[in-house]
Amino acid sequence: MGSRPPSLLLLLIIVLHILQCARGQSSYIIDTVGLSVLPSRSVQSGTAVTFRCQASVSHNSIPHLTHTFQITRDDVLIHSSTTTEDSVVYELNPARAADSGSYECRVTVKDKSKASISQKLDVAGLQIPSLYLNNQSPYENEEFVAICSAPEEKGSLIFQFYQRFRNGEPQRIKRLATNGNSSETTLKLRHIGDCFLSCDYEINLVSGTRRSNSSKEVQIIVKVLNITPIMNVTPYNDVFEGDILEVICKVVSSPLKNIEVFLTKDRRIRKQASAMALSYQFTAQEGDSGEFVCKAEWGNVQKETYRTITVKELFSKPRLTVEPLDIFEGDRFELTCSVSIYVPDKISNETMKFSIYKDNVKLTSADTYSTMAHRDKNGNYTCKVYVASLMHNFVKESPKLVIKAKVPVSKPVLSVVGGMLFLGKRFQLLCHSQSGTLPITYNLHGPNGLNEQRVVTKMGEKAIFNAPAIHKSSDLNNFLCHARNGQARPPMEAWGIQLLRSTIIIEPVSQPVLTILPSVADVSEGHDMTLVCSVQSGSPPINFTWYHTETAGALESQMSDKREGSHSVKNVKGEDGGAYYCVSTNAANETKQSRKVMIRVKLAGWKKGLIAAFCILIILALILVITFKTRLLHFKRKSNAKLLVKSASTKAERLSLTQAEVNEAANVTPGMMGKSIWSEHVSGSESDDQISAIVPEKQEPEYTEVQTRQADPNRVPVKQGTDTVYSEVRNSQQGVPEPADGVSVEYAQLNHETDHHSDHSNHGDPSVNGDHIDEVDNSVSVDIANHGE
């Protein structure tokens, strides 16, 4: 077996693995992962530290199981390896402070992974840095190289450099962050004398910042650099324009070479020399006043000397003025060139010559120039003064004076914003001049003390004024607009009368009046009705709308060019009655409503006739009924008086009528059979008075109407005990009883219940006998007139 080649052994392993997979899926589990730190978790810097990661995996005889080990410090991977072994070793030799942190080992087997418990390593101590200087005796402000390093340390270090004077504390002069373990920089010192330099470094860890001890101090001596230049100016005092000035700048008593000297003014180099000295001569001008600087440079070290030179003017710069200041086209203006200061000892006024220029073109050789303002005269004007002295000639020019004549403001135009004005409402007025140089000041005067101002300073800006409401067109004449663009010029005016020609004036409608044609009192069914809506004032077109309170929505809406409109209602009906009103409006957008008009629709003529006829019939019927009732009441009163039966004490006082007499009385009026017969015969006032005298007032008897058959003459009615006939008799004036003018006969058939009732009633009262009957169920009353009397 040992002599088999490796390839054959690998093939055998693969075959065994395939057979294992064929028998079933492999099973495994990571039991534990341990991480150990040797010799200790807290060590000194420089100690060798070993990390051992051990994994324990249980499986069902999986051959050559591979493990992937990953070691991290503060979650940053620092080592990774894959092996069939169950452990791995990682060494830190030597361990430094940068290696401090939390370590963890993670083991991955196929698709399973497990991490160990974190182990914290603390490496104490930092290497003491070393400081190197390439020059320990530099001149003041001379640059030299300083290197601070800690070669055994790891990670990103921050180096700091310190300077300490004798008997003093170190002062940090520089701080640098690097990615390595050393830092190189340049330093320069200004303090003359000896001092001590040192350095240290810091390292930033997750647990915090650690700082090293300071390096050994290095003594350094800073030497004086004697290259400060000397500057002389001749002449120095009372320097005037035209004087020759000489400036000398040099470095003396310096053993150094390669020193450069510069003369500057206002950061401009006037002259440069490499021979440690220079001389600069120039003719003094007005602009030469100021501070001159002499600089000496050796390497990157500079020394400077300053001197201020004042050059006095022989004469001041000329000044060009114009009169008047406010120039308008067409106005005459005058230019004057003058000098305010000059030195009489060196120059005289007669030696000064003036000239005036326009756009660098000479206009005159005098100190004044006058012309008429025009667009062609606009431009940049200057003047020059020429002075000749014994040694030099001087020319000075004035600053530019811009002349631009103003365009006079044109007559303004006053207009209503929008071109439409509504009487009774506030509006805006625009005052505008077609031409004129800005700024233009507009003033608006109007009724009620209106006085407002607008200043137009930019192109496109407008002078718009808020005007109060007016109530008639003629009020526009009271507005006045002034426009001006110069205080010395009279303003241009615009009166409001021009508004009447350029403005559409809208008068709001007045309250409308609704008129009914024909009149309200003459509206009848079947006729036509016209509703006329009119206004007293208002600008057409006017919109009229009619409404009926009994109808939803408007009846009609129409636009009219007149101040009235009409709406017709054809074939008026009863439901057309009610309240009507109209609404009017126009472009002023003010809606006005009329008062409501009540309309009552009259009936048609034929309906009136029909109702009148019906009413007449009703009235006639009522008259007949009233007449009938009146006569009936009168008859009943008289009948009651006649049929009252006087009480008698005995039955002998009554008159009994036989059945034959009753029949005879019935035969007298054979045509009235089958119904109630009433007749009345009045013999005279005397009989009535007698009745009234004889018969006392009693309760009126009640009568019942019954049907009777015509008497059969062949049959004699049998008188029964219950049939009783009563007759009323009265006494004459002589006291003899006599029949009345009419005899009332009452035929009553009393049934057994009536007799029983009468007997029972009389039983209780002995004063009432059977001769007096109060109630009769059935009766026949016959009025027999005594025609003989």
User: Which of helix, strand or coil describes residue 621?
Assistant: helix
* CATH number of the domain located at residue range(s) 319-403 in this protein: 2.60.40.10
Q: How many CB atoms lie within 10 A of CB 84?
A: 9
Asked if 21 contacts 60 with a C-beta cutoff of 8 angstroms, the reply is no
Domain positions in the chain: 28-124, 130-222, 227-309, 319-403, 412-506, 512-607
Q: 96: Cβ–Cβ under 8 A, 6 or more apart, which residues?
A: 45, 46, 123, 127, 152, 153, 154, 155
Q: What tens digit of pLDDT does each residue of 683-709 get? A: 333 334 333 333 334 444 444 444 444
β partners of residue 356: 364, 383
- The listed range with the strongest mean pLDDT (388-397, 436-445, 594-603) is 436-445
Q: What tens digit of pLDDT does each residue of 667-681 get? A: 433 333 333 333 333
- Strands 230-234 and 401-403, by their bridges, are unpaired
The architecture (CATH level 2) of 130-222 comes to Sandwich (2.60)
Q: What tens digit of pLDDT does each residue of 90-124 get? A: 999 899 999 999 999 999 998 899 999 999 999 99
DSSP string, 282-315: EE--GGG-EEEEEEEEETTEEEEEEEEE-EE-SB
Q: Which amino acid is at 787?
A: H
Quickly state the pLDDT bin for 523 (edges 50, 70, 90): confident
Q: SS3 letters for 100-151?
A: CEEEEEEEEECCEEEECCCEEEEEECCCCCEEEECCCCCECCCEEEEEEECC
The architecture (CATH level 2) of 512-607 comes to Sandwich (2.60)
Quickly state the pLDDT bin for 480 (edges 50, 70, 90): very high
Segments of 463-508 assigned E as strands? 463-467, 480-484, 492-495, 504-506
pLDDT value at residue 115: 95
Lowest mean pLDDT among 238-247, 416-425, 531-540, 642-651: 642-651
Q: How many CB atoms lie within 10 A of CB 626?
A: 10
DSSP string, 347-396: --GGGEEEEEEETTEEEESSSEEEEE--GGG-EEEEEEEEEE-SS-EEEE
Q: What tens digit of pLDDT does each residue of 350-396 get? A: 778 999 999 999 999 999 999 999 989 999 999 999 987 666 788 88
Quickly state the pLDDT bin for 79 (edges 50, 70, 90): very high
Domain covering 412-506 assigned CATH 3.10.590 in the classification? no
Using the CB atoms, write b or e for 421-455: b if 16+ within 10 Å: bbbeeebebbbbbeebeeebbbbbebeeebeeebe
Q: 553: Cβ–Cβ under 8 A, 6 or more apart, which residues?
A: none
Over range 251-263, report the average pLDDT. 84
Superfamily of domain 227-309: Immunoglobulins (2.60.40.10)
Q: SS3 letters for 668-683?
A: CCHHHCCCCCCCCCCC
pLDDT score of 147 more than 90: yes
* In the chain, % of residues over pLDDT 70: 77
Quickly state the pLDDT bin for 504 (edges 50, 70, 90): confident
Asked if 148 contacts 67 with a C-beta cutoff of 8 angstroms, the reply is no
pLDDT score of 252 more than 70: yes
Asked if 452 contacts 428 with a C-beta cutoff of 8 angstroms, the reply is no
pLDDT value at residue 288: 87
Helix 685-694 / helix 605-643 crossing angle, nearest 10 deg: 60
Asked if 507 contacts 588 with a C-beta cutoff of 8 angstroms, the reply is yes
Q: What tens digit of pLDDT does each residue of 737-773 get? A: 444 343 333 333 333 333 433 343 334 343 333 333 3
Q: What tens digit of pLDDT does each residue of 161-198 get? A: 999 998 899 999 999 999 889 999 999 998 889 999 99
Tell me 651's DSSP state: G
pLDDT value at residue 215: 95
Nearest to 229 by CA among 192, 190, 271: 271
pLDDT value at residue 577: 87
Sign of the CA dihedral 651, 652, 657, 659? positive
Task: Examine domains 130-222 and 412-506 and report if their fold is the same.
Answer: yes
For residue 349, the number of C-alpha atoms closer than 13 Å in the C-beta half-sphere is 5
Quickly state the pLDDT bin for 534 (edges 50, 70, 90): very high
Q: pTM (2 decimals)?
A: 0.42
pLDDT score of 242 more than 70: yes
Q: At the top level of CATH, which class does the domain 28-124 belong to?
A: mainly beta
Quickly state the pLDDT bin for 72 (edges 50, 70, 90): very high
pLDDT value at residue 390: 64
Q: What tens digit of pLDDT does each residue of 587-598 get? A: 888 899 999 999
Segments of 143-205 assigned E as strands? 143-149, 157-164, 171-177, 182-188, 193-205
Give the C-alpha distances (Å, rounded to integers) separating 246 from 233, 236, 259: 6, 9, 22
